[in-house]
Amino acid sequence: MTPAAGTRLGLAKFQAPEVVFGPGSIDEAGFAAGRLGARRPFVVTDPGIIEAGWADRLIGLLREAGLDPQVWSSVSQNPKDHEVRAAYDYYRDRGADVIIGIGGGSVMDAAKGVAVVAGNGGDILDFAGIDRMSHPLPPMLMIPTTAGTGADVSQFCIVTDTTRLVKVTIMGRTLVPEVSITDPDLLVTMPSWLSAATGLDALTHGIEAYVSLAHNPIADLHALAAVEGVVTHLQPMFRQPSDTGAGAGMAQASLNAGLAFSNAILGATHAMSHQVGGLLDAPHGVINGVLLPHVIRFNAPCHRFVRLAQAAGATSAYGAQDGADAAEFLAGRVEEIGRELGVPTGLSGLGVTADNIPTLARTTLQDACLTTNPRPASQHDIEALFEAAL
């Protein structure tokens, strides 16, 4: 395939776990855990996944493989620092080994947090930033039950600092799990609001990865596939959660998006969204859906939006210099999707006030995701984006 115009050629690294994909692939979990050396695997999940029956399904598979699973389920939306600390204490006290996360992004981030502390000691908040881990982590197996977060394949771990009320970004290649099992059958128990939130997260991952300063040709392919997949399948899955075809399409799009942003990193949407989520404990993907159109318009001068607009269904023959027009189409398309999914039209609908903006902007500047945004952003720029998004 010929590289697209504007694609930067040169040294590129692309890291991914072993991926097991397809209906019924959860049946491979016991075998996969055993290959990683598990004897007492530590299963991290949440009450919703237990209620849906997927945790019991996994536990049964692990036991059939001769393993002795230890289960931790005290994980909430947007995992908290104290939840990671408590989970690690249980992991240590039970003599567990391989770490398995089954659930959405919150569960998988909590599982990664346990792995960080298990391998490196200290407190989870000590590792905020990039490549702060100096020792290997226990092997990890991730099984997503939502379609959007990409945590099952990424080098990110996001944890809420409950003292400062901010989300802390922990990033490093060692956070990429050894194995990811993506079974579209697990998506049928997602409520519609969660499919909307996680789907918008996947869309944001694809768009931000493609325009990121750290983009590369391999990540670009996954980013474009993610955007096309979300635009095609998210609304049908939202309308009809039992639509297995749409679910499989969204599972694939989520996987593509995760591989893209794990290797190309993200941008201002995520840097800003993390702060709102830390302050208000609101759904991450919904926040992204509100912020993304504003950030797209801010980033329009980067001229990498033409291919993204085409992936999102644009019929106009945008030329190489039509990035601003393509960006406007893409921003409008995101807003259109958000309206159908019932996403608030502004951050005020999530509880953000004008008084929050200076603090949100200040902490955004400290988020690692901002470093790869294609356009530099000052505190004034970030405040203006938050004000526009209210």
In order, the DSSP letters of 69-113 are -EEE----SS-BHHHHHHHHHHHHHTT--SEEEEESHHHHHHHHH
How far apart are the C-alpha atoms of 298 and 203, rounded to whole Å?
17
- The pLDDT, as a whole number, for residue 292 is 98
Residue 379's CB is within 10 A of a number of other CB atoms, namely: 12
Place of tokens 């593509």: 256
- The pLDDT, as a whole number, for residue 307 is 93
Tell me which CATH code domain 192-389 carries. Answer: 1.20.1090.10
CA geometry: angle 339, 364, 298, nearest 5 deg: 55
- The pLDDT, as a whole number, for residue 9 is 53
3 state SS of 282: coil
- The pLDDT, as a whole number, for residue 6 is 46
- The pLDDT, as a whole number, for residue 85 is 98
CA geometry: angle 116, 81, 110, nearest 5 deg: 50
User: Is domain 18-186 classified as CATH 3.40.50.1970?
Assistant: yes
- The pLDDT, as a whole number, for residue 11 is 67
Strand partners of residue 18: 179
Q: Both tokens of residue 88?
A: 């690690």
Mean pLDDT, contiguous 10-residue spans, the chain (390 residues) = 48 88 97 98 97 97 98 95 98 98 97 98 96 96 96 96 94 96 94 94 98 96 98 95 91 97 97 96 95 97 91 84 89 97 95 97 95 96 98
- The helix or strand, by DSSP H or E, that contains position 54, with its residue range, turns out to be helix 54-64
How far apart are the C-alpha atoms of 190 and 73, rounded to whole Å?
18
How far apart are the C-alpha atoms of 93 and 111, rounded to whole Å?
16
Domain boundaries, the chain: 18-186, 192-389
Whole-angstrom CA distances from 381 to 237, 292, 294, 347 are 36, 15, 11, 17
How far apart are the C-alpha atoms of 269 and 195, rounded to whole Å?
19
DSSP helix, strand, coil percent of the chain (3-state; round to 5): 55, 10, 35
- The pLDDT, as a whole number, for residue 120 is 98
